[in-house]
Amino acid sequence: MSQVSSENVVEIENLKMYFPITRGLLRRKVGDIKAVDDISFTIKKNETLGLVGESGCGKTTTGRCILRLYKPTSGRILFNGTDLSEMRENQLRSARSEMGAIFQDPYGSLNPRQVARTIVGMPLVIHGMQKKGEYGDRVEELFRIVGLDPSMMTRVPHEFSGGQRQRLGIARALACQPSLIICDEPVSALDVSIQAQIINLLEELQEKLGLTYLFIAHDLSVVQHISNRVAVMYLGRIIEIANSRELYENPLHPYTKALLSAIPVPNPLIEKKRTRTVLKGEVPSPAAPPPGCHFHPRCNIAIDQCKGEKPQLIDTGNGHMVACCRV
């Protein structure tokens, strides 16, 4: 896994991101939130890796670590072969121009006082690719690429609909011609009919521009549709990675099985026959995760060994990796 290959755009090795819990006036540290706890994975060029899990499992933190918006507690983040984890801010800038990010909330992620043209063109100025006021042509091109009418360049975000705003966000992410785009729940805030438009746009752009995606979402059916491989996270750890078809047909981890069975299928005949594994209880707090396998208190096949031992991610063949001692 740690072998460096020129094909891999991203290689994450033993990444840990702990946030301190402080208390009192002196902000004494009393513990850690282990948002990301020792995860490793790679994303190949032109690939889409899906990252799924419930809220609070650390999927967004992982994305932010790759963008180096957080400085990880430990571990290595190799982006096109260079390690970002120890880089200083001024060195990071050039690396970041090759990464784009699309965020969940198309309302909160666009400055309401900037016109669309500035929003999309600003990354070009920041990375020194264009001068202020001279990026009009490139912005116009970007508008066309994402399916927006260039005559809307002078409008402000509230004049766009939710789907159009998400297109603006995509145009901004594409501005500097990045090789990697971190898509953090890009469609969860959109209506279903608009969701499909954005998913199709992302797929077309990937084919046309040779992009690599890390696609973070909680909706497994969307993730599975867009991704080549899917990684499932639970409380800061990756518990299963497999190619998308394989994960659906042959899920190995009991949590993945439960996630799959919880997704509603819009067909009553199938739905009524499906047995649903309803998970008991709730996700425990990442400040005090259960010992051993984090999932054992909610697992229906847990044995005593699960309480003591942290299961390792083991390859079961064909790159299907799972962290469960009962498999």
- For other proteins, the binding residues (CB under 8 A) are 54-55, 161, 163-164, 191-197, 199-200, 203, 218-222, 224-227, 244-245, 248-249, 258-269, 271-272, 274, 276, 278-279, 282
Comparing CB distances to other proteins, the nearer of 173 and 201 is 201
Residue 159: beta bridge partners? none
Task: Compute the Cα dihedral for 147, 152, 154, 159 and give only its sign.
Answer: negative
How far is residue 118 from each of residues 22, 103, 176, 230, measured CA to CA in Å? 39, 18, 14, 35
Residue 223 CB-half CA count within 13 A:
29
Residue 230: beta bridge partners? 50, 242
Comparing CB distances to other proteins, the nearer of 199 and 209 is 199
Query: In the complex, what is the shortest distance from the CB of residue 206 to other proteins, in angstroms, rounded to a whole number?
Result: 10
Query: In the complex, what is the shortest distance from the CB of residue 277 to other proteins, in angstroms, rounded to a whole number?
Result: 9
Interatomic CA distance for residues 10 and 52, integer angstroms: 18
Query: In the complex, what is the shortest distance from the CB of residue 83 to other proteins, in angstroms, rounded to a whole number?
Result: 32
Interatomic CA distance for residues 37 and 56, integer angstroms: 13
Query: In the complex, what is the shortest distance from the CB of residue 4 to other proteins, in angstroms, rounded to a whole number?
Result: 29
Comparing CB distances to other proteins, the nearer of 25 and 269 is 269
Query: In the complex, what is the shortest distance from the CB of residue 225 to other proteins, in angstroms, rounded to a whole number?
Result: 4
Interatomic CA distance for residues 169 and 266, integer angstroms: 30
Query: In the complex, what is the shortest distance from the CB of residue 230 to other proteins, in angstroms, rounded to a whole number?
Result: 10
Interatomic CA distance for residues 138 and 131, integer angstroms: 11
Query: In the complex, what is the shortest distance from the CB of residue 300 to other proteins, in angstroms, rounded to a whole number?
Result: 13
Q: What is the SS3 string spanning 38-98?
A: EEEEEEECCCEEEEECCCCCCHHHHHHHHCCCCCCCEEEEEECCEECCCCCHHHHHHHHCC
Comparing CB distances to other proteins, the nearer of 78 and 216 is 216
Contact (CB, 8 A) for 46 and 206: yes
Comparing CB distances to other proteins, the nearer of 175 and 232 is 232
Comparing CB distances to other proteins, the nearer of 13 and 184 is 184
Comparing CB distances to other proteins, the nearer of 222 and 239 is 222
Comparing CB distances to other proteins, the nearer of 154 and 161 is 161
Query: In the complex, what is the shortest distance from the CB of residue 219 to other proteins, in angstroms, rounded to a whole number?
Result: 7
Interatomic CA distance for residues 215 and 304, integer angstroms: 35
Q: Which of 262, 234, 295, 287 is nearest to 18 (CA)?
A: 287
Q: Which of 36, 48, 65 is nearest to 9 (CA)?
A: 48
